[in-house]
Structure 1
Amino acid sequence: MQKRNYYIEIEDFLSDESFRTWILSKVDEQGWEEWTLENQQRAKLVEDARLLLLAMKVPYTIISSSALNTALQSTWIKIEEIENRNKSTKSNAGRYLKKYWLTGVAATLFFAFLSVWFFKNQFQTNNTAVTYKELVNDNNEGLVEQTNNSDKPQVITLSDGSSVLLEPKSKLSYPKIFIGNKRKVYLSGEGFFEITKDSQKPFFVYANEIITKVVGTSFRVKAYSDQPNIEVLVRTGKVRVSSNELAANSKRMIEVVLLPNEALRFLRSDLSFNKITNITEDKMLAASVGNIEQLSFEFTDIPVDQIFKTIEQAYLVDIDFPKDKLKKCHLTTSLSDQPLSEKLRIICKSIGNDTSFEMNGNQIVITSQGCY
């Protein structure tokens, strides 16, 4: 069940980054509008949270603890002055009700000050969060957007032959054809990338506040808008990760180089990089490693049907092939550094006899007359 189904207080919504993104940036990646309309009482609570969040939308400045205390003390002094002026004219019962009401006002003001302070210190520190929408709008190449609304990863093949295994609740924007001397895509969520080598045209993945640059390799990027960290995990090749120049602290830009089985955790709150040289020692990273990173694509005299099964397990695709015609086919090949489409091309070329493949989403059809 979604965590937000248990929200019963306004502060529950204010502490949820996806809710703030929806209200302030009108980016509804988590389906807030549909969720809100499911319940009338829920809609009222969401509306109250929205109004308070909009009221808190002031210029991004840090509120110090001392400033917060000063503001609260000033509020209490004003409340006491009002209460003292009413003491001589109100009955005991009236004073009690007034004090009860004023206490509620004080609590509300205290929460407002505290919410502003927490919001700015935890989510609007020294940097401005870079959103997927900003990144896409900053590009003028005419992008295609692919959204995975299913419950399993989807394979996307790019014009250069590179492949992306896009996880559920994730988006990828990319040009139909890469032009110029750079290949640039934009990610919101999580994806596993296998990039076709081209030293003359490096590949860039823009994800929130970081940019991942490669020439040809395989790696995973995890960059959800409602999570405080971004993670990059390298399977093969070399990856360079740096902060996006759109981030406010771009003067502190650092480039981190990652090699196979190394990872990086980027803290969005302060734009800091944490390089991890041993993935197995990090429980969160170790748990996020998928089949595609664990399975070997080195084959020595292996039956073709087993190779297809390995590919199905890694990419969660379905491969339809003529089993009778290929049951005696064995291959020896290395496919570790190849995108999915290139893997299939190499296999078909090795089999021969006009063997070919067609891809339609997560469905792959192999046609063949058998081995040489």
Structure 2
Amino acid sequence: MHNYRNFLPEELAADPSFRRWTLYNDPEEGTIWAEWLELNPDKRELVEKARYFLINTEAAFDQITEDEIANEIYRLSHSIGENKAKKSGIWRRFRPNWYNMAASILLLMFAGWWFNKQTPSQQQQDQYKVILSQITEPLVKEENVTDKARLIVLADGSTVLLQPKSRITYPTNFEGNKREVFLSGEAFFEVAKNPDKPFYVYAHTLATKVLGTSFKVSAFEGDKEVKVVVKTGRVSVFPMTKEAIATQQADDKLGGMVLTPNQQIVFAPKELRLTRSLVPDPKLLELPIQSQSFEFKGTPITEVFATLEKSYGVKIIHDADVMKNCFLTASLSDEPLFEKINLICKTIGAQYEQLDASIIITSTGCY
């Protein structure tokens, strides 16, 4: 294997082995590059930059025709002293080597031109694609094609109320030191607390980082602005630029522009402008869960379950007669749904299970 340590990102992007691994998921090349990264952990940033170059320039680069490459090969053959290579046919005999060389050089030139012409908004959208491409765990894509909010439970216990015409992509399991999901549209998140594994929501041009809280993100395709509204806890919001993401992922604290309850932020990607303000009127929040406090003081358990059913759109099956003497006093504001259910059951001595999109509560009653 070549010594890639002194390569520039553009040079690495042009390497045939690296291209086969990045673009075509070649398993043999994948093994080679995984071993190389193990031996050269300090070059992970180099690899990520090269992947960014390659993924975002490949589509346009593929539009270069065979004739254009042939012309470039002919020009290159003279510039490096191979004057005997003739466009009339000799170059075809050596086409594999010359073709790869020309392709590599053309890619390097095109990469520089392409990144210089990109707008801030385009760079942020491309960064979204690069981060998504780096996820190694199997991904699940959920799309809400109904006219009602849809509840999705993630592997860590976090819950997502996905709004109609919205889509979310997430790993089946959150490996590594962070939890990352990708949103197109609108969703309300209740994130399970885990200070050691921050939770990131990438929404095209804006990223949100939390440690455990509840908030709404609105980022429909085609919208000029992205909006984040916080219900509980604190979140950090920052543009999807390479520099901002690197800073946030290197720090276990909340940086960027921090939002607290009843605050919202609107992001205009073209101007890289973040505008923070108070929520003007809680009634403007469309989802019942966002205006629900989940503060219970001696509340009959049947009413508690009815509140959860209305807020999350799930069916909670229980025996109201058996549990008629069960009451709850608790504050359950920012826990995900199943953490709420678990705390309720521990408090009243009950058990629960999930069956056919419903939650079944079993209890011997309260005395």
TM-score (norm 2): 0.61
Per-residue deviation at 1:216? Answer: 0.7
1:130, 1:246 within 8 Å by CA — same for their partners in 2?
no
Between the aligned partners of 1:250 and 1:321, the Cα distance in structure 2 is 45
After superposition, give the CA deviation of every residue in 1:64-112 in whole Å (9 maximum; x if it has no partner): xxxxxxxxxxxxxxxxxxxxxxxxxxxxxxxxxxxxxxxxxxxxxxxxx
Q: Which amino acid aligns with 1:331?
A: L
- 1:337-352 maps to which residues of 2 (within 5 A)? 337-352=334-349
Segment of structure 1 superposing worse, 285-294 or 334-343: 285-294
Between the aligned partners of 2:333 and 2:246, the Cα distance in structure 1 is 37
Matched, 1:371 2:360: no
CA distance 1:300–1:344, shift in 2 (3 Å): same
Q: Which amino acid aligns with 1:314?
A: S
Counterpart for residue 269 of structure 1: 270
2:214, 2:233 within 8 Å by CA — same for their partners in 1?
yes
After superposition, give the CA deviation of every residue in 1:289-321 in whole Å (9 maximum; x if it has no partner): 421111121111100011111111211222221
Choose the corresponding residue for 1:290, options 287, 291, 295.
Answer: 287
CA distance 1:334–1:216, shift in 2 (3 Å): same
Q: Which amino acid aligns with 2:135?
A: N
Counterpart for residue 156 of structure 2: 160
CA distance 1:200–1:187, shift in 2 (3 Å): same
Counterpart for residue 175 of structure 1: 171
Share of identical aligned residues, percent?
41
Unaligned stretches of 5+ residues in structure 2: 1-59, 62-117, 249-254
Q: Which amino acid aligns with 2:240?
A: N
Q: Which amino acid aligns with 1:258?
A: L
Choose the corresponding residue for 1:333, options 307, 314, 330.
Answer: 330
Counterpart for residue 230 of structure 1: 226
1:191, 1:221 within 8 Å by CA — same for their partners in 2?
yes
2:143, 2:165 within 8 Å by CA — same for their partners in 1?
yes
Matched, 1:213 2:213: no
After superposition, give the CA deviation of every residue in 1:15-37 in whole Å (9 maximum; x if it has no partner): xxxxxxxxxxxxxxxxxxxxxxx
Per-residue deviation at 1:125? Answer: 4.8
Matched, 1:241 2:223: no
1:192, 1:218 within 8 Å by CA — same for their partners in 2?
yes
2:283, 2:291 within 8 Å by CA — same for their partners in 1?
no
Between the aligned partners of 1:323 and 1:306, the Cα distance in structure 2 is 10
CA distance 1:286–1:351, shift in 2 (3 Å): closer
Choose the corresponding residue for 1:127, options 110, 121, 124.
Answer: 121
Please provide the CA RMSD for this pair.
2.8
CA distance 1:227–1:210, shift in 2 (3 Å): same
Matched, 1:187 2:183: yes
Between the aligned partners of 2:203 and 2:189, the Cα distance in structure 1 is 13
Counterpart for residue 308 of structure 2: 311
Between the aligned partners of 2:296 and 2:267, the Cα distance in structure 1 is 36
Between the aligned partners of 1:136 and 1:264, the Cα distance in structure 2 is 24
Q: Which amino acid aligns with 2:166?
A: S
Counterpart for residue 53 of structure 2: none
Per-residue deviation at 1:271? Answer: 2.1
Counterpart for residue 57 of structure 2: none
Counterpart for residue 279 of structure 1: 279
Between the aligned partners of 1:139 and 1:125, the Cα distance in structure 2 is 25
Per-residue deviation at 1:133? Answer: 5.7
Between the aligned partners of 1:252 and 1:144, the Cα distance in structure 2 is 27
After superposition, give the CA deviation of every residue in 1:117-161 in whole Å (9 maximum; x if it has no partner): xxxxxxx85431517666533433221111111111111111111
CA distance 1:359–1:237, shift in 2 (3 Å): farther
Between the aligned partners of 1:371 and 1:357, the Cα distance in structure 2 is 19
Q: Which amino acid aligns with 1:268?
A: P
TM-score (norm 1): 0.60
2:185, 2:219 within 8 Å by CA — same for their partners in 1?
yes
Q: Which amino acid aligns with 1:330?
A: F
Task: Give SS of 1:127's match.
Answer: helix
Q: Which amino acid aligns with 2:200?
A: F
1:344, 1:357 within 8 Å by CA — same for their partners in 2?
no
Between the aligned partners of 1:346 and 1:355, the Cα distance in structure 2 is 10
Counterpart for residue 141 of structure 1: 137
Between the aligned partners of 1:133 and 1:151, the Cα distance in structure 2 is 28
Counterpart for residue 299 of structure 2: 302
CA distance 1:288–1:227, shift in 2 (3 Å): farther
CA distance 1:251–1:271, shift in 2 (3 Å): farther
Unaligned stretches of 5+ residues in structure 1: 1-57, 60-123
CA distance 1:207–1:197, shift in 2 (3 Å): same
Counterpart for residue 46 of structure 2: none
Matched, 1:203 2:204: no
Counterpart for residue 251 of structure 2: none
Between the aligned partners of 2:306 and 2:332, the Cα distance in structure 1 is 14
After superposition, give the CA deviation of every residue in 1:321-343 in whole Å (9 maximum; x if it has no partner): 11111122111111112100100
Between the aligned partners of 2:155 and 2:247, the Cα distance in structure 1 is 34
CA distance 1:160–1:327, shift in 2 (3 Å): same
Per-residue deviation at 1:183? Answer: 0.8
1:203, 1:213 within 8 Å by CA — same for their partners in 2?
yes
Counterpart for residue 10 of structure 2: none
Per-residue deviation at 1:360? Answer: 4.2
Counterpart for residue 72 of structure 1: none
